[in-house]
Structure 1
Amino acid sequence: MSIGNSPEDDRPSIEDDRPSTDDERPSIGRALQQARIDAGLTVDEVTTSTRVRIPIVHGIEEDDFSRCGGDVYARGHIRSLARAVGLDPDPLVAQYDAEHGGRPAPTPAAPLFEAERIRPERRRPNWTAAMVAAIVAVIGFVAFTLFNGADNGSKGNHVAEGPAPEQKPSPPRPSTSKPADPKPDPSDSAIAAVPKDKVTVKLSVLDDKSWISAKSHNGKLLFDGTLLKGESKTFQDDERVDLILGNAGAIELFVNGKKVEDQFETGQVERLSYTKGDPEVG
């Protein structure tokens, strides 16, 4: 029998081989803080990369999630911080759910869709119907106005109807106006009212047409053109009027109020000059 430890002392300890329980895991905040320190990052650097405010980062590292604003935001912050310091976020989120009553059940989509379907849609104004109604109203108003106007007119005519009072013919009144003087026939005396201090020549085309040129005593051109049948021209000058008639036989000529009786032939060209005296052929 050897002196020393008993065989029982050589057996491995049961407590050393026992797997670690969940209670031996570091807390979420402790794990994030240790990983940040191991990564050589400061809180400010983690805040810059995750956009999680500094007070919230300090609170999570102290396992205080009250500043996160709810479980949903707390899970999101845990995931952001875990990725920033190089940890797998899923075990930390699962640990958070286990410590805070589990992950909430997702809201079924059917009631949401049903609520969206039942929600009444806001009706837009129907401008086309409003415009049609306005046009119909205007047409109705115009028709009503015309109908009333026609009705009133017919009533007024009905009142005005009836036998008209007989009017006795009034006796003829004696005429006080003097009888009009008989118009004198065109003659030498009727045209004699031309000014005596000027030479007045009047041309009238009786048949076909005639080319006419008229000049004053100083050579000023008074007219140069063709007169058609029924057209007339009158020329005046202080001393003399010179004429060229292209078709003298078609022209009736008055000089100083007197008709020139010379018989010109059709197609004949005449050069004539007249002064203040009696008509004389130039």
Structure 2
Amino acid sequence: MSENTKSIGETLRDARIAKGYTLDDLQQTTKIQKRYLIAIEDGNFSDLPGDFYVRAFIKQYAQTVGLDGNELLDEYSDQLPSTKTQEYVDRVNEDNPSTRSAQRKVDDRAAKIKRQVPIVAAVIVVVAVLIGIWLATTRSSQSSNKAQNVDSSSVSVSGSAAKSSSSAKASSKKTNSSSKKVSKASFSKVSTSGNATTYTMKNAPKDKTIKIKTSNNAWVSVTSAGTSAFQGTVTAAKTQSVKVSATATSVTLNLGNAPETKITIGGKTLPISTATSSATTASSTNASSTTGSTAGTASSASSTTTSQVQNITVQFK
């Protein structure tokens, strides 16, 4: 039992007066109705909405007037009713407007959350479906690309090792394209007069690079559009490449040793005729002089009576 001569209500009233608070001030601060504050000070706890809130109101009262609420409750615990069940809380909520308002806010918030749950769930389902469709489409596209790449690589010209799958596919496509272009090109002889022969190259490719290879040293000159593209001796077993403009309409080749010389234009072999009569040393020298060779080179080309000099003109169509 408490040995205090003052009741808990008197202790609270004295602390309130010492603070200079009126009951109205305390009501405004604590939001506890004035009649409940008076009941606490008078010890009429039965006038409060329920035993459950007796301790809560006293604790709030004590803290507002500068007292330790927990300590005060412990000190006067024998004067206070015990806490009751939830039914008292419900009754207090019905009587206290501020409590009812707070409870309504909680209920409204809970109801709003419940209403939003189906919407959020539907959005999640839609997003999951869209992601699934996107993944399926991506995988299908990748599979299709792989199948196309396999098909294209299967018809590629084989023989060279690919450094990577992408470079191999690109090389195969390029080789196929080049092969088609080369296969379309063809030579046809237009005329032959002495050691001069004219050919027509149908479906000539844009790349008109001329490659010259001879089994024996031979003097060669290449002229295109009136301009010398190459002039000199081609060493045996070596390949001489001569770049000709893609827009060139014709090219003229002077061969000092035609039977031993192989010519390709854009990858297509030129069918050099070997039926031309053998040139004498003098005629070989004259032909070499006509094409602008140096005296030493012409002598080298004409030193063998079995060498054949040919002047070949190729017209591109």
TM-score range for the pair, normalised by the shorter chain length: 0.3 to 0.5
Higher relative contact order (CA 8 A, sep 6+): 2
Please identify the structure whose Cα radius of gyration is greater: 1
